[in-house]
Amino acid sequence: MIRSMTGFGRAREVIDGRDILVEIRSVNHRYFEFSAKLPRSYNYLEDKLKQLIQDKTGRGKIEVSLSIYNIAGKETQISVNLPVVENYITALREIKDDLCLVDDLSLSDIFRMTDAFNVLKADTDEDEIWRGVASVAASALDKFILMRENEGQKIKADLLEKITVIERKVSEVEKISPETTANYRNRLFEKLREILENMQIDEQRVLLEAAVFAEKTAVDEETVRLNSHISQLREMLDGEDVVGRKLDFLVQEINREVNTIGSKAQDLRVTKIVVDLKSELEKIREQIQNIE
């Protein structure tokens, strides 16, 4: 399955009293690169998230964002500091009579008393938190992968069109190549006739020269390898494995064969085809850089 390196996935769910939001996004990169934006108290989850994502993705620059809101108050413990509150009340009542004040103390007044409450972070169950985060992250990851796959199918369709163009161009080279040798032999005969006029032409010598020319300009081996590489390209595009790097290597091999054909070209038609082939290969290389 061809997958793009560009993707985005988002999931949100309330689990065990925690509102958990996970977002995963990625762009092109030569290798797998991971970064995470987490609340400071949850930094210990970074390696777990990295492993979860790396197990299901290939290369790409991937960024994960995690938000956790404790909506049930499970992780906070509040207790009243009774000695402090009692001291406040005693002090206030001592001055009540001296200043002729009304004793109207109420529960709401306690909130304004400094240090009247102890707010403590309760011990957290890291395994419980991870189970919740992992569940939400898995949902985001499914959406992330689905987007990559959808984008990958578009890239695949485009690549197959370009591969078809290359196959057609290679067939043209295979057709022209024998014609090039025949044309060279005919030109050689004509040139010798002009030079020697009525003298006898050594046909064996001409045939030998043509054979040497054919040997130097033959591209049969290159076109055979090209067709083999193209067949491999199609197989990879139809496979289920992550193939971005393999495709990149194979395109380099195809480019090498095309360059060899170009160096042997003695026909302007072949030269033009080589230019077209290199243009299509460059487009393919750009697309492959987007594949996981």
Regarding whether 106 and 64 lie in a shared domain, the answer is no
- Considering the domain boundaries, does residue 190 fall inside one? yes
Within this chain, do residues 68 and 85 fall inside the same structural domain, yes or no?
A: no
Q: Helices in the chain by DSSP H: which ranges? A: 46-54, 82-98, 107-110, 126-196, 203-217, 220-238, 244-264, 268-288
The pLDDT score that the predictor gives to residue 110 is 77
How far is it, in rounded angstroms, from Cα 61 to Cα 27?
5
Identify whether residues 92 and 135 lie together within a single domain: no
In a shared domain, residues 100 and 233: no
Residues 98 and 191 grouped into a single domain: no
Confidence (pTM) = 0.68
Both 88 and 52 in a single domain? Answer: no
- Whole-number pLDDT of residue 120: 61
249 and 167 both lie in a single domain: yes
pLDDT of residue 222: 84
1 in a domain, yes or no? no
pLDDT, one tens digit for every residue, the chain (292 residues): 789 999 999 999 999 888 999 999 999 998 899 999 999 889 999 999 999 999 999 889 999 999 998 876 555 667 788 888 888 888 888 887 777 777 777 777 777 777 787 766 656 788 999 999 999 999 999 999 999 999 999 999 999 999 999 999 999 988 887 766 555 555 655 655 555 555 555 556 555 555 545 545 567 778 888 999 999 999 988 887 778 888 989 999 999 999 988 887 777 888 899 999 999 999 999 999 899 8
Of 163, 187, 243, the residue nearest 1 (C-alpha): 243
Note the maximum CA span of the chain.
Answer: 147
The verdict on 32 and 57 lying in the same domain is: yes
List of residues 6+ apart from 231 with CB closer than 8 A: none
Q: How far apart are CA 84 and CA 72, in angstroms?
A: 28
User: Cβ-count burial of 269 within 10 angstroms (0-12 exposed, 13-18 middle, 19+ buried)?
Assistant: middle
68 and 84 inside one domain: no
Q: Is residue 12 domain-shared with residue 143, that is, in the same domain?
A: yes
The three-class DSSP label of residue 66 is strand
Domains contained in the chain, number: 3
In a domain, 276, yes or no: yes
The pair of three-digit structure tokens given for residue 16, joined into one six-digit string: 């065990």
**Distances in whole angstroms, Cα of residue 209 to Cα of each of 28, 194, 227:** 53, 17, 30
Per-residue tokens: 120: 């403590």
The reported pLDDT for the residue numbered 197 is: 57
Tell me what pLDDT residue 119 has.
Answer: 64
The helix or strand, by DSSP H or E, that contains position 67, with its residue range, turns out to be strand 60-70
Structural domain range at position 87 = 76-121
CATH of the domain at 58: 3.30.230
Note the pLDDT of residue 180: 60
Structural domain includes residue 232: yes
Based on the fold, state whether residues 191 and 256 are members of the same structural domain. Answer: yes
Is the residue at 2 inside a domain?
A: no
According to DSSP, the β-strands at 32-37 and 60-70 are parallel
Same-domain pairing of 128 and 194: no
Amino acid at 167: E
289, 284, 288, 6: which is closest to 145 by C-alpha? 6
Amino acid at 173: V
